[in-house]
Every structure is written in C-alpha cells, then in structure tokens.
Structure 1
C-alpha cells in the first residue's frame, strides 16, 4: 500500500509529495480549488492550504478534506508528473 511519507508546503498552489515507494512529484491544487466545493473552497486561502497534515499516509486538511496517497500517486503518474529516483 502506497503512502505519502513527506509533503512540503507550497509557495503557490503546488505541493511537493514523496511516496513510500521513493517516487515523488508536485501536485497542482488549482483544479481542486477551482471545484469551489464546501471542502475545496478553503484551499484558495494560502494560510489554510499550508495547514495540511499527513494521516495514515493520506494528505489531509482540518476541514475533513482527505486525498488518498493511491489516488494522488495515480494522478501524478497519469499526467507524467510522477518521478522516480532513477528518472531524477
């Protein structure tokens, strides 16, 4: 089971993620922000966006928004933004 082992606060709407398999990439949060739902709207605020934490390998925020490591890993891989140590 893949987990997020490290997440670095974004200077913009991107967040750097490192996964338990050694792969890594930058997640663009703008598509989530653009959804403008009750859970994603607070991400537009940089102070709130930076309050993320990791829980059981998932990327979470205090309002209950939780993004699974597997879905983020797949999203980054399918868009060509997932890197491995060999490819770095």
Structure 2
C-alpha cells in the first residue's frame, strides 16, 4: 500500500503505469489503455468482494471515471489500482479482431 497525492493505493508504487482510457464492453470486460501505450482487456467479473458487486449493474459499470490514472465508479466509492488492472489484464491485438 502507498499514498500519493493524498490518495491511498493498494499494491506497489509504479509511477510509469496509469490508465489513460477505460472503455466498458459487454460481459464485464473493459478495453484499457495504459500510459505505456498498451491496450489490454480486463475482466471485471473476476473482481471479488462486496465493494465490486455494484459493477454487475450496467448503470454503474458503463460509467467509469478516471481519477489520476485510476479507474473509479460510483462517485469514487469503487476504484481499482492501475497496477492491479495491468497485472490481471490480457494482451489485446486490435489487428486480430
């Protein structure tokens, strides 16, 4: 855990990784663009815990907001560290689609 700019994050500080775009897709999947330029797929349905249950509601899931490189939902009540998203996401090859 670390604190940066008065925000508490889980994980290990990695200044070089931030989310620059988060596009919700069907089935709880998201197309994530990182500050490295990489575009990856992230499956929010694999997130565990009560805090993530509201993401099953499309009205919540389809309205992410980026705050300092972190994906948030529900007025900041739900957030997920960019390091976690990167580590648990999948390579996305847009040329293969």
- For the superposition of Structure 1 and Structure 2, which TM-score range results when normalised by the shorter chain? 0.7 to 0.9
Q: Following superposition of structure 1 onto structure 2, how do residues 35-74 of structure 1 map, counting pairs within 5 Å?
A: 35=48, 37=50, 39-62=51-74, 64-74=77-87
Shift of 1:36: 5.0
CA RMSD of aligned residues (A): 2.0
Runs of 4+, deviation exceeding 3 Å: none
| Alignment partner of 1:6 out of 5, 15, 21 | 21
Secondary structure, aligned partner of 1:73: helix
Q: Which has the higher contact order (CA 8 A, sep 6+)?
A: 1
State the TM-score, normalizing by the size of structure 1.
Answer: 0.76
State the TM-score, normalizing by the size of structure 2.
Answer: 0.70
Q: Which runs of 5+ in 1 are unaligned?
A: none
Contact 2:22 2:30 in 1 (8 A): yes
Shift of 1:75: 1.8
Secondary structure, aligned partner of 1:40: helix
